[in-house]
Amino acid sequence: VLSRPRDVVLNALYFGTKGRYEEVNAYLIDDILAINNSLVTLPSSKCSEIHLTVIIRHGTRYPTIKNIQKMREFYNLVVRDATSNLNCLSEIKSQWKMWYTDDMDGRLVDKGREDHRHLAQRLIKWFPSLLTEENHRCVNSTIAFREGLMEGLRIEAPPPNTAHFECLPFLTHPFQCERFVKEVENNKSALQEVKGFNEGPEMKRVMEKMADRLEVPYCDNDLFNMILEAGFFLCAYEFAIQELNSPWCQLFDEVDAQVMEYAGDLKQYWKRSYGHEINSKSIVTQINSDGIVSEAVTVQVGHAETLLPLLTLLDLFKDDIPLSSTNFATQHNRIFRSGKIVPYAANLLVVLYKCPEGIRMGVRLNEKSLTLPGLTDPVPMYEDVKKRYRALLEGCDQETVCKINNS
């Protein structure tokens, strides 16, 4: 088991969507195949599982080419201009090399394959009656389908013994919604709160502290803010991919990390979640179902951009006061923290149980039971769930929702 210094443990809690799954479930650090029954609420022992739907975010990945280029720029700034005698800077200049290359561009890393392989093994422990040897033909079919996709898309195959299933196009992506693209993705004003925070006093203080640590001239501009974010990403990726106590992490104290996390959460909130109504409605086809269950187990793999809007549709992780550019100081105990909701390999499980009184439904996020808003029973009757979300189930038509002229 990796022993980690305290500063990395503290900063690792603030990596947002670039955080490890193990930070959400710390017991996995000691035993990656452990399950924690105390985190799950089950129905009566007279009930039996009859269906499982699993929606999983992809595992740990390399940075995108856009972030790799920003990280390279920050690295070059430090090597070229930083004059401070900090030990971490000496280590960066003498020992650390910029090993991220443009061709990595968001590709899955070995740790990302392990994330899903280990999750699958834990799910077998959670649901032994549903995930059985009888389903081997389905698993083999999925592997064959995956291999066909990889060959057709010219994706380099993983090692032959890996059991990870690469991202498959089962989930609707917000970019497929024309209205979302116009009103949010291509609309600069949609992220005004994010811009306001990045130009506000909390972020300005982090930039000033960084300039002091590096002993470089302080520039209050978008470029310095951008490469500051890249420095935090270097800390996050080094830890997520290699489990390293990177010298980059030592450039950020805990207050800095909290500010950087909030900036990331603001972006997720306003671009993927409660900030704009279209964010969640853009993926409505995911739950617009007639309720007919034909398979014992359904597994879907997607992105944070698909999982987070789905959780938003269900009214989960909704703070009473919206996140904004000016309320960082009062949002330390907020519910909406992307690193706790959608870290790498985040997973939403929906379980149907056959009980004497009828069908019940359980929901888990990251292997922890959730109580759906408006329902007091942690494993409610399925009919009660459908009543709670009737407007959503009956009123969702993506073609109508995504029309640009639809108000």
Q: Annotated active-site positions, please?
A: 58
Contact 157/147 with Cβ under 8 angstroms?
yes
DSSP state of 167: P
List, in sequence order, every residue forming a beta bridge with 354; answer none if it has no partner: 48, 359
The residue written with tokens 């999750």 in the block is 119
Measured between alpha carbons, how far is 56 from 33 in angstroms, rounded to an integer? 17
Bridge-based pairing state of the strands 297-302 and 48-57: parallel
All residues at 6 or more sequence positions from 71 whose CB lies less than 8 Å from its CB, including other chains: 63, 98, 100, 230, 231, 233, 234, 237
Nearest to 54 by CA among 403, 307, 321, 333: 307
Bridge-based pairing state of the strands 358-365 and 297-302: unpaired
Q: Where are the alpha helices (DSSP H) in 13-135?
A: 21-24, 65-81, 87-94, 110-126
All residues at 6 or more sequence positions from 168 whose CB lies less than 8 Å from its CB, including other chains: 145, 146, 149, 300, 301
Nearest to 56 by CA among 170, 174, 145, 177: 170
Q: Kindly provide the b/e burial profile for residues 166-188, where b requires at least 16 CB atoms within 10 angstroms of the residue's own CB.
A: bbeeebbebeebebbbebbeeee
Measured between alpha carbons, how far is 52 from 158 in angstroms, rounded to an integer? 27
Measured between alpha carbons, how far is 40 from 167 in angstroms, rounded to an integer? 27
Token duo for residue 4:
């980690």
- CA 34 to centroid of chain Cα atoms: 21
Token duo for residue 401:
């929702």
